[in-house]
Structure 1
């Protein structure tokens, strides 16, 4: 039985939602706990052929038997949370740590109205930065003080650690990507807190000695939304040549597209303490590989790319996504152990 962290390896939008959903449906966890910043990152997940974009509820909701928890380190927007709970029907499985800080309307107004954040940094305008600022100043409203959240309140760290002690599988899922970590990303073009695996463990109150696996998720063609350095960025015309055009789940803004960044992959794997990696978008390396579910059926071009990516990152690539659909995936975790 294992405790697994799933963390983004590049600038976000790596496809963590699909990877979390796959691990959940395969490993049968009792708990899926979300760390990360807050509703400023969206995860796109398919369930029974229906696409869902979630910003507050853990993307592992697709596995019906897991308790869904939001850790104390996460900012909660009650409006966004209520809407997702209503759409997804997961209220009976949801737990919100009573220590979570709340995003209020004033935070969203400040976020959108601050020129540096809105124009220079390219913030999502969801209020996370101002809410975290108020949290640091020790004047933030907490979940325990918000009436509509009362039915969800729990001690997430206690639930997670109790499950680990019982020998159950749990998943800790992150949001955002390593490249926009407040500490290790492209400062000042970053989010308002760290986004590494260590932070995710802290967000849900699980100590480092209780983590078994860290799956860092990469994208064959990295993308970035908003401003900031992007060393391997390609031109829009080059991206069109690969048939790549993407838009952010939260903002709807066009994503900037780049080539594989082996240097960043290695550094990300190191800081996150990755034990293995997942990669999405292999069908864009070779469209003929779309939907392939057997490693032996991948083309030589994709296999060569994977060999180099493994050397770059220094960890085995165990989960390979060959398309957006739920079944378009190759799981090599048992083989590569």
Structure 2
């Protein structure tokens, strides 16, 4: 079985929280990460917090192997720091074609006024590394001796495992509307962040996919420049308790109410089969840490049910707190899957 998790808006939807929950609850044999170190995920489990950028958030399940797909990019420093902090050295697998970001890419990107000021880049060297990959001058994982014990042919391995009925969770990066092709260019990232883009970075065809879960937060946030419909000013966002700080950059996230029109477009672009909603407790305070749907306040239930009716895709997973297990899982009731 293969499930794909993708962000539905502009990133920051809480994919890390949902991925960590699925890692614990579903016990995937493999969790696969695409993307790069310009996207941060916060994982909270058993009173411990991790802020990671490149390893899959399902690392919290000690039996799950952690895979970096060919299209991923990382720096050696970030990779080894995360391997250490997650105590996962013996279960990390890296494709030989993973791109390696060096100080040169980071320096060049931070000196690029267009990217840093106009686009609002995170300055992690990812865009420059992608450009050098296209120019065939970027060094890859296979070029680094310190990575040789982690190297595998990831597409072959995963396809073989799927044919053995292994369970695989794919964790996409950023959000649909930061896609290089489907976002508001030039205020976009350096890759296609939709479900189809994720598959292409891994090397797995669509026939293997069972579920495409699009993650939406209960409100919309965006870091960097670009249009944000119905954007709230900082004072109003603070009054509503919607102020957030970005994991990677430390910048305040720009905020807007949930956007149904944008969500519908995201569902179409990703061929979503399920929806996960995070931070329901931010809109409905009495939802905090509720783990059973029947215990949600009536207004929260109505919001979920009205939204599901509008979007025409089942809302199967609901986040109600920061811990991975602060989650309501309705997959069994709605689609017959646990």
Structure 1 and Structure 2 fold alike (TM over 0.5): yes
Match of 2:100 among 99, 102, 121: 102
Secondary structure in structure 2 of the residue aligned to 1:230:
coil
CA distance in 2, matches of 1:312, 1:119: 37
Match of 1:290 among 285, 288, 291: 288
C-alpha RMSD of the superposition: 1.0
Q: What residue is the counterpart of 2:27 in the other structure? A: 28
Q: What residue is the counterpart of 2:212 in the other structure? A: 214
Match of 1:305 among 297, 303, 306: 303
Secondary structure in structure 1 of the residue aligned to 2:93:
strand
Secondary structure in structure 1 of the residue aligned to 2:84:
helix
Secondary structure in structure 2 of the residue aligned to 1:257:
strand
CA distance in 2, matches of 1:298, 1:46: 22
Shift of 1:322: 1.0
Shift of 1:162: 1.2
Secondary structure in structure 1 of the residue aligned to 2:301:
helix
CA distance in 2, matches of 1:160, 1:242: 44
Match of 1:142 among 140, 143, 147: 140
Shift of 1:48: 2.1
Q: Is the 8 A contact 1:232 1:260 kept in 2?
A: no
Q: Is the 8 A contact 1:216 1:278 kept in 2?
A: yes
Q: What residue is the counterpart of 1:11 in the other structure? A: 10
Match of 1:268 among 251, 266, 269: 266
Q: Is the 8 A contact 2:45 2:323 kept in 1?
A: no
* Deviation string, structure 1 residues 164-206 (Cα, Å, up to 9, x no partner): 1001111010111111000111111000010001111121211
CA distance in 2, matches of 1:101, 1:271: 27
Q: What residue is the counterpart of 1:232 in the other structure? A: 230
206-215 or 233-242, which deviates more:
233-242
Q: Is the 8 A contact 1:282 1:322 kept in 2?
A: yes
Shift of 1:86: 1.6
Shift of 1:300: 2.1
Secondary structure in structure 1 of the residue aligned to 2:333:
coil
Q: TM-score normalized by structure 2? A: 0.97
Q: Is the 8 A contact 2:34 2:69 kept in 1?
A: yes
Q: What residue is the counterpart of 1:246 in the other structure? A: 244
Q: Is the 8 A contact 2:46 2:323 kept in 1?
A: no
Match of 2:76 among 69, 75, 78: 78
Q: For structure 1, list consecutive stretches of 5 or more residues without a partner in the other structure.
A: none
Q: TM-score normalized by structure 1? A: 0.97
Secondary structure in structure 1 of the residue aligned to 2:73:
coil
Q: For structure 2, list consecutive stretches of 5 or more residues without a partner in the other structure.
A: none
CA distance in 1, matches of 2:178, 2:214: 15
* Consecutive aligned runs of 4 or more in structure 1 exceeding 3 Å deviation: none
Q: Is the 8 A contact 1:16 1:217 kept in 2?
A: yes
Secondary structure in structure 2 of the residue aligned to 1:172:
strand
Shift of 1:101: 1.5
CA distance in 2, matches of 1:12, 1:73: 18
After superposition, the Cα gap between the structure-2 partners of 1:315 and 1:149, relative to the gap in structure 1 and judged at 3 Å, is same
